[in-house]
Amino acid sequence: MIKSVICAIGLYIAGDLISNMNADSLLAERLSSKYQAPYQNLTTEDKGIKFSIKDIIYDHQQLLIKYTAEGEKAGGIHFNSVNLSVEGKELELGKSASYSQGRGEIRILTNNSLPKTFMLRLEISQLGDTVGKWILNVPVSTSEFEQSIVHYEPMITKKFRDASFEIKTVQISPHTTTISYTVVFPKYDDKRTLHIFVYDKNGIPFEPIGGEIKTLKNDGQWVTQKDNRVFITPKNKPDSLTLKVFDSQLKGTSKEPLATIELSK
């Protein structure tokens, strides 16, 4: 049986929790106007609050919706007050939301599960403390990003303690960096978790967004898992990626790198 676990923003790295607002502000800081598409006239109003979509950023790995809420009682979107669907099917994906002074963001970790182009239906039942109904149909496409997405296939196998990692693919867009890998480790600790984190050549960590873990095999002795771990791409594209392992048994991230991936210019 294949199990899938979606991890939203709020991951531990070297013992520190990266908060939603920190990740959001870092990402917003990196958004280049070259990669933003205007979304005009996407506005709906109810209960004296006008809700408007300002930008959609979609690069296969994440869908980022930037919005404004205007009105005397305006507030942000809550997790349980927004429904996102494509062709009538609700998106059951990890999502996070942030809001400050009339502006907010919704981030959905998509992990290549959505098509290149689709119509997103956004239904909101509460903004701040106000209950109402705000509905928009939003066109979404990766056309603005396709030529800027770079793929690498390092296919590196490395040992870490009693585990074996195989780094399969690396995808880098202007907004996200995704590491896809499998890990095999002995099953003697049901609570053990193993994740990869990414650093630049100066040891500065990439900010994590989340990941999707699938258990491919569990024979009672060995566990094989597949993981797609997503991070915020730094403003300046790095020359290389240094990978380190978070091991719950160590209660932190390893000091020694698992591997270094050189990126072509």
> Three-class SS of residue 34?
helix
The structure's pTM equals 0.68
DSSP letters spanning 70-128: ESTT--PBPGGGEEEEETTEE--S-EEEEEETTEEEEEEE-TT-S-SEEEEEEEEEEET
Q: Do domains 3-18+147-262 and 37-142 have the same CATH topology?
A: yes
28 pLDDT higher than 80: no
Q: What is the mean pLDDT of the chain?
A: 79
Tokens standing for residue 256: 């020694």
Q: Rounded distance, CA 53 to CA 141, Å?
A: 15
179 pLDDT higher than 80: yes
Q: How many CA atoms lie within 13 A of 68 on its CB side?
A: 11
Which residues partner with 46 through β-bridges?
Answer: 49
| Mean pLDDT lowest among 38-42, 144-148, 226-230 | 38-42
Q: How high is the pLDDT of residue 188?
A: 76
Tokens standing for residue 18: 């990266």
Task: Give residue limits of the domains in the chain.
Answer: 3-18+147-262, 37-142
Q: Rounded distance, CA 186 to CA 256, Å?
A: 21
Cα diameter, the chain? 60
More confident residue, 219 or 7: 219
The DSSP H or E segment spanning 110 is none
Tokens standing for residue 189: 């600790």
The pLDDT-based confidence of 218 (bands split at 50, 70, 90) is: confident
CATH fourth-level superfamily of 37-142: bacillus anthracis domain (2.60.40.1630)
Q: What residue type is assigned to position 135 of the chain?
A: I
More confident residue, 96 or 104: 104
More confident residue, 182 or 116: 182
Q: Structurally, what CATH architecture does the domain formed by 3-18+147-262 represent?
A: Sandwich (2.60)
Q: Stretch 37-47: mean pLDDT, rounded? A: 74
Q: How high is the pLDDT of residue 265?
A: 53
| Mean pLDDT lowest among 24-38, 98-112, 232-246 | 24-38
The pLDDT-based confidence of 94 (bands split at 50, 70, 90) is: low
More confident residue, 253 or 22: 253
Q: How high is the pLDDT of residue 39?
A: 55
